[in-house]
Chain A
Amino acid sequence: MTTSQTVPVASPPKMFKHGVILCLFCLGFGLILAITNEITLDDIAARAIEDKQNSLSQVLPDDLHDNNPVTDTLTMANAEGKELTVFRARKGGKVTGVAYEIFGTGYAGEIKLMMGIDADGKLLGVRVLAHKETPGLGDKIEVKKGPWIERFTGLSLGNPPLERWKVKKDGGDFDQFAGATITPRGVMVAIRSGLEFFAENKTRLTEAN
């Protein structure tokens, strides 16, 4: 397949030539990349905002706000000290709900979710943003693949009581899937800690500015 020519040790002037050739190619293709980046920059940023908007609109119902939650944000530190962006839904200036990302540990790594919660601490909805769970088993946490995640809408820290916020296998109220317990358990833990985060920071999260 390949030509098996022996490469003689290059003398310095020749080495210089190779270096120049390589350098020119790097410059040329670097330029192409810079141009492509410049052309696609705005579209990619627009797509990222659309994605965020889509996931937010699923956890912050439209009739709850008259502002744009994507741009009305608040940065806080979560329980692990990680920076967290909180998206706020307002009606007439008053905060009616907030949404933020929560993280759970699944079977195959981190599960990233977006959680919406109203000003009274009631869940407006939870949606999976990214995960690496087994297709056909753990991916039933996606709303596209099953209604499981919708079960949480309307619940809050006291409903059901805190000790029942577990999967059935651990003595809680929530179904696991056949063949997958770790995934729903990870999601449960994430939602519970998300609710606790809200309870601890309620005043800060719901104040008007």
Chain B
Amino acid sequence: MANSDYKTIVKDGLWDNNGVFSMLLGMCPAMAMTTSATNGFGMGLATAVVMAASSWLVAIFRNRITTEVRIPVYILIVAAMVTVVDLGMNAWMHELYKVLGLFIPLIVSNCLPLARLEAFAAKQPPVSALLDGLFMGLGFTIALTAIGAVREIIGSGTLFADASLLLGPTFKVIEMRLLPADMGVLMMILPPGGFIVTGLLVVVKRLLDLRAGKEIQMTGAHAV
């Protein structure tokens, strides 16, 4: 269990204990929402907001919530935060809502927020919990954007298409076409592509970790 050292929390969330690539949690949105990098990014950010808010609330009330009723209370808190995000996005970020609206309610059934509440927020002071929720959510965003980018490049030949709908017209410049329109491999945008790309990226992360880990082990062995 991570201690409340803030740096560890940040590193755990973003990379070491990444929700998608290490814990393999939240697979449903990770595959369903990543037909493009922009969609993955938007879904990730929405999840991060919900996770930060619910982790913080759970940590505040952690001494009030008895063990017996903790699960319904956690679900209540996550569901309430999801509804707040859902309504707020519908009202003030409507273009994005039209893209992601269908999937926002699914955050309730994403096991990543619940897992973090149970494993971390329930035992930590509010600031640590808020950080953990936020950075776990941002790690989730990175993972979803990466999966979405790979699928979009191979599947449709574009990268960050429609990003201006999500982030505003200034981001028109990051919308790229890397391959001609008819060269896309359709399968990558369909569900099998989600499984294939997620699997491959998990392998990539393990390989990177392994390489880093080996060096650490080797230096450790030399030191001894």
Contact = CB atoms under 8 A, between A and B. Distances in A.
Interface of A: 1-2, 5, 7, 10, 17-18, 21-22, 25-26, 29, 32-33, 36-37, 39-40, 43-44, 47, 50-51, 134-137
B66 interface: yes
Contacts of A26: 76
Contact of A21 (B66, B80, B84): B66
Contacts of B68: 7, 10, 18
- Residue in A10, A29, A134, A137 with the greatest tally of chain B CB atoms within 10 Å: A29
A47 B88 CA distance: 12
B188 to A, nearest CB: 9
Contacts of B115: 1
Given A25-B76, A26-B76, A5 B87 contact: no
A32 B80 contact: yes
A107 to B, nearest CB: 12
B25 to A, nearest CB: 11
Interface size classification for chain B: 20 to 34
B69 A18 contact: yes
Interface pairs A-B: 10 shortest CB-CB: A43-B91, A40-B91, A29-B80, A40-B87, A47-B94, A22-B69, A18-B69, A136-B186, A1-B119, A36-B84
Contact of B155 (A37, A39, A44, A136): A136
Contact of A136 (B77, B84, B87, B189): B189
Given A2-B118, A10-B68, A21-B66, A44 B190 contact: no
Contacts of A7: 67-68
Contacts of B87: 36-37, 40, 44
Given A7-B67, A36-B87, 12 more contacts: A5-B67, A10-B68, A18-B68, A21-B64, A21-B73, A25-B73, A29-B80, A32-B80, A33-B80, A40-B91, A44-B91, A47-B91
Given A1-B118, A43-B91, A135-B35, A18 B66 contact: yes
Contacts of A17: 66
A82 to B, nearest CB: 23
Contacts of A10: 68
A32 B76 CA distance: 12
Contacts of B92: 40, 43
17 contacts: A7-B67, A10-B68, A18-B68, A21-B64, A21-B66, A21-B69, A22-B69, A32-B84, A33-B80, A36-B87, A40-B90, A44-B90, A44-B91, A47-B91, A135-B35, A135-B190, A136-B156
A18 B70 CA distance: 10
A25 to B, nearest CB: 5
A80 B222 CA distance: 80
A10 to B, nearest CB: 6
B186 A137 contact: yes
B64 A47 contact: no
Contacts of A47: 90-91, 94
Interface in B49-89: 61, 64-69, 72-73, 76-77, 80, 83-84, 87-88
B117 to A, nearest CB: 11
A16 to B, nearest CB: 12
Given A18-B66, A29-B76, A135 B90 contact: no
A21 B91 contact: no
A40 B65 CA distance: 30
B184 interface: yes
B125 to A, nearest CB: 18
Contacts of B35: 135
Contacts of A40: 87-88, 90-92
B193 to A, nearest CB: 11
A136 B69 contact: no
Contacts of A29: 76-77, 80
Interface in B110-137: 115, 118-119
